[in-house]
Structures are given as structure tokens and as C-alpha cells.
Amino acid sequence: MVVDTDICGMKLGDQYPSHVMGIINLSPESFYESSVISPDSALDIALKMVEDGATFLDLGARSTWRFSEPISRKEELKRLLPVLEALEGNVDAVISVDTMFSEIAEEALKNGAQLINDVSGFTADPGMIKVVADYGCPAVVMASNKVPGDPLGMDAIIGSLDSIIQAAEAGGINPKNLILDPAIGRWTEEKLPIYDFETLDDFERLKIFEKPLLAALSRKSFIGDVLGKPATERLYGSLAAAAIAVYKGAHIIRTHDVLQTSDVVKLSGALRSRPSVVKEGRYEVSVVEVKSPQDAAIVMRKLGVTRTGSQVMQDKSVHLMLKISNLTTTEALIIKQEMLARGGDAALTRDAVSHETEATDVLVMGTLLQLGRLARKLEGQARSLPLIAEMIRECIANRSDLEYRYLR
């Protein structure tokens, strides 16, 4: 499961340095007013961004901020075309246009754009898939269901992206042309900061799609919520978030602050290790890491496993090691015996095995399926084992409980 692809002549993948996408903001309605530029200065700003390290430039003429005043598609195009004309052939970077509408995307592609960034994930305009397929251009698709960025939590984000990918491929888009964006930001009223915390914390889960990953987190509201600062004062928070995203697998960082972000991307990329893969002739062996049974089911489905088969096997895909402290020797030995009976194992002090101690800690090793079956078995046992069963379930559940993970 290694990403290695070419987007408009740019190498993107786990073995290449991550890229910086500079934001050229043409929408006065933007949440970050200081980033808005005039069309007359667009070329100079673009050239400076490229000099500072940007390899992608993303032009946006319609604010996607949920409190912004809407504009017409005619106005959006009117803002875009002069800047596209100024940039075409004059900057050494991939030119992206941030739009949700097929007619604007088509005009942009006719006038020098090379990539479409659709924050609705092809859900706002059914014609967008056809335009992207017809032009054979790459596209960034953001996790969305009914409105841009509405999935809540990483499970929902992964489910949304999975559906978008399937719809895109069914519509004729080359799978190698898709770049995935997990929709970090307060896109809807219901999307609280903890959802963005989870997305960034679990960013590596997106690797299951084997596609380039884009993180658009520059000066977003979750940074302001943590720091208590307005957009103009969120640079350092943005840089910290960018470092985490790259370290966890992002291939492109979309930013207002190209110079500072370029340094962060270089360093965090150098610290990120390459995934293990071995190739020999037509054979390849690679490590597949999954944190969630849902992710494993998607990986299996991509392989051609039936839906029923993937559901049966998904709980076998995640392996955990739990430490249970202060058990009696008898309780520890019962747990070891029950884990061995289910194909797992448990480690405990050798003095417990020989009954030379009355208490011991235990390391229990097994899949989610094995641990679940252990808990069910312990419910009917004596001593404190029913309580231990409840604690095992709660400990496992905490891994996906957002309030437990992020509310202090």
C-alpha cells in the first residue's frame, strides 16, 4: 500500500517530498480577509509563492466560508479568468482552480487550469464528474455528502471518500487522477473542533485508499479554538498542524503561508519513514496497517473480497495488546487459558505460572474479535472477572470515543 503517482508532471507519493499548494484568494468574502489579493497583483504573488517553495497554486474566486455572502457563477468566472490568463505560461507550478461547478471548471481548464479542486467532492454539481473525465485532468475531492465537509468523524469521512471514489470511477475518471481531502475545518455548524482533532490525529487512516492526500488546514477555526486567536494570528498553529499532517502521510499541504510552510514540510517529511515494501519481478510485498475494522473492510473490498466476507473478517484485522493490572494469579491464568483457546495469548510473570505469587499484571494479545470473545467468556466467570470483562470493553471503546480522546 504505497502511493506513487504523477500529477501534472509532479511526483507524489510516500517516497517523495511533500508539496506545498499556495492559496491565491480572489474572494473578498473570505474568512481570512488579509489573504485576499487583487487580480493586478496575482502574477507577482504567484511568482513569489513559487520562489518560496510552492509547486501547486490554487485559485479560488468563491469563498467556501459558511458565513460568506454567496456570489453568482458569472461573478466567480469573472474573477477567475483574468488571473488564469496572467498566470498561464508564466509560472512554474501546477495551476489548480477551486470550484464546485462544472461550467466554471470547464472554462478554467480551457484557459490554463490543470487541476480542479472541488470541495463538494462532486456532490454539488452532477456535471463535474463528466468535465473532469472528459478533460482527463486530476481533481482534489473533499469528503462531502450533502454539503461540503459535512461528514462528522473519521469513520464518516472515510465512508464519504469511499463513495466519492466509486462514483468518480463509475463516471469515467481515471482513479490515478484523484487526490483526497478529508475536509478539515468548520464546514457545518455541527462540526466541532474535536472532529478536526480526530482527523489530524488519525490522518494515516486515509492511506487505505492508496491515493495522494491533501491537508487544507491553514488558519482554520479549530486552530483558533485551541489558541484563542483570530485568523491573522494563527500562523504558528497552522505550521504545527501542517507538520503533523505531513508526518502522518499528507502529500500536499494547502496554505496561505508558503515560505514558512515549505520549511515545515521539508523537515517533517524528512522525519517521516517510508512504508515497508519489497518488489521482485512481478511480485510485491507491503505492510498494510489499519486502525479500524471499517478500514480493513474497504481494503478487502478493493481486493475483490465480497461484502459478507469482509464483514466476517474485519474484526480479525486489528490487533491490540492490553495490560491488565493487579490480577490474582488465578484470574491471570484463567485469562491466559481463555486467550489461548481463542488463538490469542497472554504474558504474565513466571512466578504466577508456578503459583509463587498471589498477584500479577498480564499483557493480553489478540485481535478485536478474540478480545471481544474473551470479554463475553469472562462475564460468566467467578471472582472479579465479570468486572474485568466490562473494563476490557470500555478500554477498547475509548479508542474511538471522541469525547474521551480529546475533551480535557
Q: Is residue 220 among the annotated active site residues? A: yes
Q: What is the pLDDT of residues 173-198, one digit of tens each?
A: 999 999 999 999 999 999 999 999 99
* Helix H or strand E encompassing 220: none
- Spatial separation of the C-alpha atoms in residues 200 and 242, rounded to whole Å: 9
All structural domains of the chain with their residue ranges: 4-278, 287-314, 318-404
DSSP state string for 365-407: EEEHHHHHHHHHHHTTSSTTHHHHHHHHHHHHHHTT-HHHHH-
The DSSP H or E segment spanning 243 is helix 235-247
Ranges of residues in the chain whose predicted pLDDT is under 50: none
Domain 4-278 CATH class label: alpha beta
pLDDT, position 314:
94
Q: Are the C-beta atoms of residues 43 and 92 closer than 8 Å to each other?
A: no
pTM (predicted TM-score): 0.92
Fold identical between 4-278 and 318-404?
no
For residue 116, the SS3 value is strand
C-alpha 362/C-alpha 353 separation (Å) is 12
How would you class 332 by CB atoms within 10 Å of its CB: exposed for 0-12, middle for 13-18, buried for 19 or more?
buried
What is the pLDDT at residue 82? 92
Select which of 211, 254, 336, 373 is catalytic: 254
Q: Which residue has the cell 513466571?
A: 350
Whole-number pLDDT of residue 358: 85
Which one of 220, 234, 248, 373 is the catalytic residue?
Answer: 220
What spatial distance separates the first Cα and last Cα of the chain, rounded to whole Å? Answer: 35
Place of cell 481463542: 342
Contact 87, 57 (CB under 8 A): yes
Give helix 73-87 / helix 42-52 axis angle, nearest 10°. 60
* pLDDT score for 1: 67
From 142, 135, 250, select the one nearest 204 (Cα to Cα). 250
Burial class of 190 by CB neighbour count within 10 A (0 to 12, 13 to 18, 19+)? exposed
Cα(341)–Cα(254) distance, rounded to whole angstroms?
50
Rounded CA separation 48/173 (Å): 33
pLDDT at 199: 97
Residue 217: which residues within 8 A CB-CB, separation 6 or more?
A: 184, 185, 196, 200, 223, 238, 241, 242, 245, 253, 254
Distance of CA 361 to the CA centre of its chain: 37
Class of residue 320 by CB neighbours under 10 A (exposed 0-12, middle 13-18, buried 19+): middle
Q: Which three cell numbers stand for residue 223?
A: 486552530
Dihedral sign (CA 51, 56, 58, 64): negative
Selection from 118, 132, 201 nearest residue 170 by Cα: 132
CATH number of 318-404: 3.30.1370
Residue by residue, DSSP assigns 143-196 as: -BSSSBT---SHHHHHHHHHHHHHHHHHTT--GGGEEEE---S--STT--HHHH
CA–CA distance, 118 with 97 (Å, rounded to integer): 8
